[in-house]
Amino acid sequence: MTVQYSQLVLTGGPCVFVQLFLRWRGCVFKLIYVDIIVFLTLYFTISLIYRFALPEDTQRGFERLVLFIHNFQSMIPVSFILGFYVSLIFSRFWHQYVVIPWITKLSMGLTTHLPGSGERQRMIRRACVRYLLGSLILTFTRVNLTIKKRFPDFEAFIAAGLFTDEEVQMLEGMQIHFQPFAPVMWAVSLLTMAEKEQLITNPHALVLLIQDVNSFRQGLLNIFFMDYVCVPLVYTQVVTLSVYSYLVASLIGRQYIMNNSPLIDNTTSKDFYFPFFTLLELVIYVGWLKVAETLLNPMGEDDEDLDVDSIINSNWRTAWCIVDGMKTSPPAVLRDAHWAEAIVELPHTEESKKLGSTPYRGSVYEISAQPRTNRLGSIISKIGFGSTQDVNAAGSSVRKRSVTINMLRRASQMKDHTRESITGVDQSRTSTSLHPEDATLEQDSRSFVQAKGFPETITEEAEGEIRFQTRSDIDNEKKDPLQPATG
């Protein structure tokens, strides 16, 4: 049945998963230890024959065969095929568990819409639950080996109190494929009878109860479907053939060649005798395949098969407790302990306080959402260009500031260029004759900066901050930098 180990991995740690390998039930080595023994036996048998029984000429031929198989062994797409196959099998395995019907919802509906402690009400509620549970168990006796052993015949149903002698005689007179669904029809007939007897006073309640019974019947039908429609046999054959053909090729292709062989380079190839990494591949690939083989039909007695027996026991206890073992009337309604409090905080123990918690306020709760202009002013004020109000008054738009940055940078680059490349030439003549447009722009930018109180030079860090905020405006300015800003 399903191996439970969730309690061992509640909190991660360096040795948490190491202890999982110490458990034999459900362990991968329990599934593959026979394959490991057979593989190593054949591997060392071939190795001993190659080293001590073959003449030298035959050894050279065997070594050529080893190299040939080793070169082409990787052409078998084992991991690719196994990945898709295991994914399909696990999805099917989980779906087989999900489709199992539970009687809890229907039991609560019976208690709600067919209330009363009278004998007639109790008899109808208990009979409906008994019929549906009998139908569930009868279905599992057709598909699950564990339940088949627990209820091998109708005598076991009578001994368990699921059916009476009369009901068993009626079932035995029916066709085999209809037997699991006959008790469901009996339950629907009982509900209709209760509505006619005015035990169910609301006609909509009868519809809801019949819908729940029909959903339960559909779950039983899905169990049969999952058992009847299998994974295509050819898919299973291809995957199994791929894995074991790869292992058979490894028996020869992964043999170590002796150091005295002229076919290998002794500086790069070593004779280690034992196939360490080949054995690791065997554990991974065969273990992967065994997982799929175990989950292919989870209705057997493997360690990881569905624990249907406990599912039936849980349904059985829960159904009887709801329909006839619980007091349906609620307790008296009183003032709660926090009656006078508007904001209630749940208490903590000393241990839970140490864990701490972060209240959820949204991922962008603490991110500032102020406009771009205000954010730019905040950055400028932080790096020493004055207050935000001064910046907003000085520059009527972000576009004008980007033009100013370009002017300052052009002037700075022009000065550096003239110092390095033009030695002994009049600085004023160079700046006015070679670059008249830059000189004009430089003069305009200086006038603007001095008038607004900005410094004449700008640091690289400040320029990067401002340029980051006004990147879109600068891109527009490159197209027509002298066009006046609008708006």
Q: What is the mean pLDDT of the chain?
A: 81
Q: How far apart are CA 200 and CA 207, in angstroms?
A: 11
Reply yes or no on whether the pLDDT at 385 is more than 70: no
Express as a percent the part of the chain with pLDDT over 70: 74
Q: 114 is written with which tokens?
A: 């067919």
> Comparing 421 with 154, which gets the higher pLDDT?
154
How many residues does the structure list for the chain?
487
| pLDDT bucket at 239, cuts 50 / 70 / 90 | very high
Name the phi and psi angles at 172, rounded to 5.
Answer: -65, -25
Residue 185's pLDDT band (cuts 50, 70, 90): very high
Asked whether residue 476 carries a pLDDT value surpassing 80, the answer given is no
**Each residue's pLDDT tens digit, 335-375:** 988 898 888 888 888 888 888 777 778 888 878 776 665 65
* Of 43-47, 280-284, 304-308, 409-413, minimum mean pLDDT range: 409-413
For the stretch 138-150, pLDDT in tens is 999 999 999 999 9
Say whether pLDDT at 72 is over 50.
Answer: yes
Q: Report the alpha-carbon distance of residue 212 to residue 206 in Å, rounded.
A: 10
Banded model confidence at residue 189, pLDDT cuts 50, 70, 90: very high
Q: Which residues of 67-91 are buried (b: 16+ CB within 10 A; e: fewer)?
A: eebbeebeeeebeebbeebbebbee
* pLDDT average, residue stretch 309-328: 89
Q: Residue 69's Cα: distance from chain center in Å?
A: 38
pTM: 0.70
Dihedral angle, C-alpha 161, 163, 166, 171, nearest 10 °: -160
pLDDT in tens, 240-250: 999 999 999 99
